[in-house]
Amino acid sequence: METQRAYMMTNNSADYHPWQVTNLRTASTSGEISLKQIRKRFLYNVTALMSLSRTKTMKIASFSKLALALFVSLIVAVPVHAWDYEGHRVVNQLGLAALPKDFPAFVKTPEARERIAFLAGEPDRWRNQGDGRNPTDDVVLSHFAGPDHYFDMEDLDPLKLKPTDLPIFRFEFAGELAKLRAAHPERFDPIDPTKDADRTKALPGFAPWAITELTGKLRSSFSYLKAFQDYGGTPEEIANAQANIIYIMGVLGHYVGDCAQPLHLTRHHHGWVGPNPHGYTTNSSIHSRIDGGFFRRTGGVKADPLIEKIRPAKIINDPLKSDDLFRKVMAYLQESHQFVEPLYRLDKEGKLTPENPDSHEGRDFLEAQLVRGGQMLGDLWYSAWQQAGEDTFLIRVLKARQAAPK
């Protein structure tokens, strides 16, 4: 039975690829693929290869294909660094540099700073669990978390929607999307269900909602921290509230950083697709080169040289207008989207090739995106802190606890 199953896996490669880490859109970008994952994929493919070698009906081509896949399973899983994780750390560190001196001190301790920088990679670690290409992948987690990393602006065109007119509520947008796709199927490319195990192919992404929602959670966390501090919260309650704030700050930074990378805002995320009058690259490797390859081959990237380009954080939205924060976030995404074609032009001109004498222009461009991300992040953190209101429910509970007989 196992021999037959392994043979079927190899001869139905369009449906099953045990050697693949993941697909292009959900490729691991945390730079922290574990040795356990590498070992697991290696042993899985060894077992399949041994089973195939005992199958009399196996074709030589099939055996050769899986043998090659076994080799690829080792080299593909090598950890990737630079913008993947290192760049996300830089965005969070630049956000911290934008905060004023009177921002809560517990955020600025060395331990908290390192925790916030580390958490810049957290959402990508969730993506390491796969998207359904392998039988043990967590498709529920991929469906929930994957689309928060991107928002393909061009996918609004067949929906006849504009970025400035989108609803501020995630599920309202999802409902509109479903209705429009059902009413006008001719506007959309068909989706192969065998390549959509996590049911995300019909989604343009949810990045602007993820950023807005996490900012709301951060604002709430500052509210209940203040309640605990002012109305008799225990040291443990205060410490836990502070830990929650640090966690949300770090995770929020990841999505803000994603949206500073222009390829997270376009359907051209892994090479130019569709009409291509300017002859931009169609090679899918451009995404990994922008995320990490360029910086990795040119000495990496650090926050310290970029801090001088960061201005002090400011409030970016009107808290009395319920849609204003979302509109500001969407404007930030639209600005990033404007850099898609300039990025492709730089690539075409060789300025994203480290060996090119003009590659400094490519570095300047990518560093500017990191600065944009760090600046936006600092503004969001600062706005959440400044706009945190009273947690009236918790205050009542804490007052009642203080008044209770001892």
User: What pLDDT does 46 receive?
Assistant: 44
Token duo for residue 39: 């070992």
Q: What is the pLDDT of residue 289?
A: 87
Q: For 270-295, how does the pLDDT look when each residue is reduced to its tens digit (9 = 90+)?
A: 999 999 999 999 999 999 888 878 89
User: Among 21, 46, 75, where does a domain finish?
Assistant: 75
Helices 2-10 and 35-53 cross at an angle (nearest 10°) of: 100
| The pLDDT value given to residue 78 | 36
Q: What is the pLDDT of residue 351?
A: 95
The answer on 97 and 57 residing in a single domain is no
Q: Are residues 54 and 196 in the same domain?
A: no
Write out the residue range of the structural domain in which residue 57 sits.
2-30+34-75
Q: Is residue 397 part of a domain?
A: no
Instruction: Answer yes or no: do 148 and 243 share one domain.
Output: yes
Do 114 and 8 fall within a single domain?
A: no
Least Cα distance to 123 among 259, 216, 239 occurs for 259
- Do 152 and 266 form a contact (C-beta atoms < 8 A)? yes
**Are 250 and 122 contacting, i.e. CB atoms less than 8 angstroms apart?**
yes
Q: How many CA atoms lie within 13 A of 279 on its CB side?
A: 2
CB 370 within 8 A of CB 95: no
**Alpha helices (runs of H) in 321-391, residue ranges in sequence order:** 324-337, 340-348, 359-386
Residue at 345 is within a domain: yes
Asked whether residue 131 falls in the same domain as residue 68, the answer is no
Among 15, 6, 12, smallest CA distance to 197 is for 15
Tell whether 391 is covered by a domain: no
Domain containing residue 141: CATH number: 1.10.575.10
What letter would DSSP give residue 271? B
Dihedral (CA of 58, 61, 62, 65) sign: positive
Q: What angle do CA 354, 22, 342 make, to 5 degrees?
A: 35
Query: What secondary structure does DSSP assign to 85-111, as a single string?
Result: THHHHHHHHHHHHHS-TTS-GGGSSHH
Name the stretches of the chain with pLDDT < 70. 1-83
Statement to judge: residues 146 and 38 lie in one domain: no
Q: What is the largest CA-CA distance in the chain?
A: 82
Sole residue written with tokens 């916030």: 116
